Structure 1
Amino acid sequence: MNPAWQATIFDLDGLMVDTESLGTASLSAAARSLGVALAPQWLDDLVGLSTTRTLAYLCEHLPERTARAVYETSRSGYRRQLEEAEIPLRPGILPLLDWLADMTLPRAVATSTQRVLADLKLQRTGLDRYFPVSVAGDEVPATKPAPDLYLKAAACLGVPPVHCIALEDSPVGAEAALAAGMRVIIVPDMVQPSPSLARQALAVCPSLHEAYEVLRGLR
């Protein structure tokens, strides 16, 4: 096994499953139904945040009662769609995971999503079969951009963070992986990384197909 790369840790929403846009749409629809205007920048800022951080952000920008109403309405709609509608996979994720499985490289999920929703997404998409380890946002003291999720995932795999590569779509997720001491490949979904963040990444790839090639090139 390559000593410089012993495990791969994946974000979930926006990276493996196409749910970031679903969450943003649910939030926008909830706000509209309540007659609340959300600034486009707010929606960008919320990408990759946990539910707790999302609510805190809304409370900073809206009256608390309004923020909580928007949040609760959007979460109900989001959960209903996850339970009833198809959850699309991001293009390229299955060939990448199959290759890592064939290589017998340890894999984990590190997601800010709460455990109940993380399990729902992993099980409904069949991705759970690839991941013996997953860490959810309600299982650590602080979520992304704090490093806790990635540090716990690495500890569960028994691999030092410095020997892990993280795959992320959001800037806050990439910051979390870097703070944990990992190399990170960014595959942007809804928000592009800043030039500074992009320079710190191992690579910024337009899709998981290109990320696959980057990883293959490391061997």
Structure 2
Amino acid sequence: MNRSFDALLFDMDGLMLDTETLSCAATRRAGAELGIPVDDAMLMGMVGLSEARCARYIAEYLASEELAARLQQTSRACYRRMLEQEEIPLKTGILELLDWAASQSIPRAVATSTRREIADVKLARSGLAHYFRHTIAGDEIARTKPEPDIYLAAAALLGARPERCVVLEDSPYGMQAGIAAGARVILVPDLITPSDAQRAQALATCGDLSQALAILKTL
């Protein structure tokens, strides 16, 4: 079958794994423990950012590098415990989509803002690791999302031209990264509702990955 794409590039948190809610819960727990106010606006501003970008964002939001460092250190420890002890839920449709991609021998890679150590834990504990021979983590590139570097690197790992890749993303930052790399992006929103302008930039905006699969089968 002649497809209009050669490879699939996947975000991880919020796209394949329902971990953004875990991350928000960890930050709230850390804030409560430290007496640092954590509101919805802060949490939503962090979605899709790398750990380094989150640190800068929180410092600006709280107007304090010291408070930001304490909050991030405590929330990181809490999040790690949650990942190791609690179930990591999958997003609706991801197994169906990955099984189809594997059956069609479509090259695929993970491109996540999460640092390597944590990304490997998530992929292994969720059972998704065996679907991917290639992964790029946020601490392995110079510039993280919304810059295009991570998707350019993922395409290069697969030997695919970026413009022949389809990126699957849940966040506006991730979509910006995919588009900047020259790829087409299917947006499957998680915590953040995209604006009309953002929807217009996407190849499609889907309610879940089952809908995304239906679109991929037509390309």
- Using structure 1 for the length normalisation, give the TM-score: 0.97
CA contact (8 A) 1:3 1:163 kept: no
Aligned residue number for residue 161 of structure 1: 162
- Aligned partners of 1:127 and 1:30: how far apart in 2? 28
- Aligned partners of 1:125 and 1:74: how far apart in 2? 21
- Aligned partners of 1:174 and 1:39: how far apart in 2? 24
Query: Unpaired segments of 5 or more residues in structure 1?
Result: none
Code of the residue aligned with 1:38 in structure 2: it is V
Aligned residue number for residue 72 of structure 1: 73
- Equivalent pairs counted in the alignment come to 218
Displaced runs of 4 or more, over 2 A: 1-4
Deviates more, 1:177-186 or 1:23-32: 23-32
Aligned residue number for residue 28 of structure 1: 28
Query: Structure 1, residues 114-160: CA drift from partner, whole Å, max 9, x if none?
Result: 00011111111121111110000000001110111100000000000
Query: Structure 1, residues 155-196: CA drift from partner, whole Å, max 9, x if none?
Result: 000000000000000110111101100000000010011211
Aligned residue number for residue 106 of structure 1: 107
Aligned residue number for residue 195 of structure 2: 194
Aligned residue number for residue 148 of structure 1: 149
Deviates more, 1:162-171 or 1:119-128: 119-128
- Using structure 2 for the length normalisation, give the TM-score: 0.97
1:47-196 alignment, distance < 5 Å: 47-62=47-62, 63-196=64-197
Query: Unpaired segments of 5 or more residues in structure 2?
Result: none
Code of the residue aligned with 2:188 in structure 1: it is V
How far is 1:112 from its partner?
0.3
- Aligned partners of 1:99 and 1:114: how far apart in 2? 28
SS in 2 for 1:217: coil
- Aligned partners of 2:109 and 2:68: how far apart in 1? 33
Q: Quick one: percent identity of the two aligned structures?
A: 51
How far is 1:3 from its partner?
5.5
- Aligned partners of 2:201 and 2:165: how far apart in 1? 15
Deviates more, 1:72-81 or 1:123-132: 123-132
Deviates more, 1:192-201 or 1:97-106: 192-201
How far is 1:4 from its partner?
2.4
- Aligned partners of 2:40 and 2:23: how far apart in 1? 14
